[in-house]
Amino acid sequence: MVPTKLAVLSQVCLISTLSILATPLFASERSIPELVDAVNGTPDDASREAGKKVKLRNHAKGFCTSGEFTPNPALQDFLTIPFFNQAEIDITARFSLGGTNLHASDKASGRFMSLKIDSDKESLNFVTTNAERFFASNLEDFFIFQTKVKQGAEGKQWLIDNKPDASAFFDYIKLLPPSASFANSRYFGVNSFLFSASTGEIKPGRWIFEPVSGVINLSQTELANLSDDFLKTELLTRIKEKPAVWDLYIQLAQEGDEIDDPTVLWPETRQRLLVGQVIVNGDRDTETSTLQCDKGIFNPLLLPKGIAPSADPILNARTAAYVESFIRRL
C-alpha cells in the first residue's frame, strides 16, 4: 500500500471509529460486509474479488467541486451549535448518480449531493438525495431491497408485493421527474439528527436543501435532446458564470413524529430553521481537498458539538458501510 493510501485509510478509520463503537449493530441485523455486498451486487467470493479489482462502489458516476457555506447568524437564537457561529466555511462537494454503473444515464431521475464543511476545529458532512422517502427502515429490509432490485423486474415485483416501504418508495420515484441540473434539485437528509436548542431541549430534525434558482425539471422531449452525460458539464459550466446556491434548512419534528424511521415523511407544514447557504462556485477546484475528494468518505456521523445522531439504524450503519466499501477499493 502506497503512503498516500495508507494516510487516507488512517484518517478514515480515525474519524469513524468512535461512531462505529458508539452505535453497535444488533445480532439480528445484517453485518456491514453483507450490506456492502448487497449494494455492490457481490454475493459470493468470486464476485467480491472481481469487484475489488475494478474498485466497485456505489454512486460510481460522480464528480467533485468546491464552494463555501455561509451560516445564518439568527440560527443561534434557536440552536446552540458553535460550529454555525462563524463566517464562511470551505465546502467540498460531490454530485453523483446512484448505483455502481460508471456509465449510468443522467436521464434517470436520481440525483445525489454529498458535502464536507470543514472548519479549523470541527467538520460537518452531509449525504443527501433528491428522494425525500427512503425504501427501508432497518438493515434487514435494506439488505433485502438491494438484493432483490439486482434481480430485475421479478425482484422488484416481489418487493412491491411483500415490502410496503419499498412499494411506497417505487410509487414515489415513479412520480419524480429528472431535474435539468444538479443545481435545480432539492436534496434531503432522509435520516434524523438531534439538535441542541438554546432552551436546553433536544430538537429532532432533518436536513433539507432548497435550490435558490428553483426546482426545474425536464420533459421527455427535452430529455431526448440531451446526452447521457449532460449533468457534469452543465453544472461546471454554470458555476463559471454564477454559483449554484441552496438554502439549508432543518425541518423540526413535532411530538409524535417518527424520528428513527427514514421511510416516514413528515408533513410539509413542520417548522423549518434556516441554517445558512451552500454556495458551490468551483473556486477551490484545483486544491488537493477537491482533487482527492474521491479518496475518502463523506461521514454523516462526523458531527460538531450540538448535533447528535438519532437512533435510526440506517443512519448508524452508514459510516461503517462507507469504510468497508472504501477499504475494498484500496
Domains with residue ranges and CATH for the chain: 3-328 (2.40.180.10)
CA 26 remoteness from chain centre: 23
d(CA 35, CA 38): 5
Q: What mean pLDDT value characterizes the chain? A: 92
pLDDT tier at 24 (50, 70, 90 boundaries)?
very low
Active site residue: 30, 57, 59, 111, which one? 59
d(CA 106, CA 288): 27
Q: Is 103 a catalytic residue?
A: no
d(CA 210, CA 188): 9
d(CA 80, CA 283): 30
* pLDDT score, position 10: 47
DSSP 79: B
* pLDDT score, position 120: 87
Greater pLDDT, 4 or 288: 288
> How many CA atoms does the CB half-sphere of 323 hold within 13 Å?
22
* pLDDT score, position 296: 87
- Residue 290 vs residues 60, 65, 90, 248, 287: alpha-carbon distances, Å: 17, 6, 11, 21, 6
pLDDT digits 0-9 by tens, 197-244? 999 999 999 999 999 999 999 999 999 999 999 999 999 999 999 999
pLDDT over threshold 80, residue 289: yes
pLDDT over threshold 70, residue 132: yes
pLDDT digits 0-9 by tens, 66-79? 999 999 999 999 99
* pLDDT score, position 14: 46
- The SS3 of residue 179 is strand
* pLDDT score, position 25: 46
Average pLDDT over residues 121-144: 97
Is 187 annotated to bind ligand?
no
pLDDT tier at 127 (50, 70, 90 boundaries)?
very high
pLDDT tier at 40 (50, 70, 90 boundaries)?
very high
Residue type, 297: I
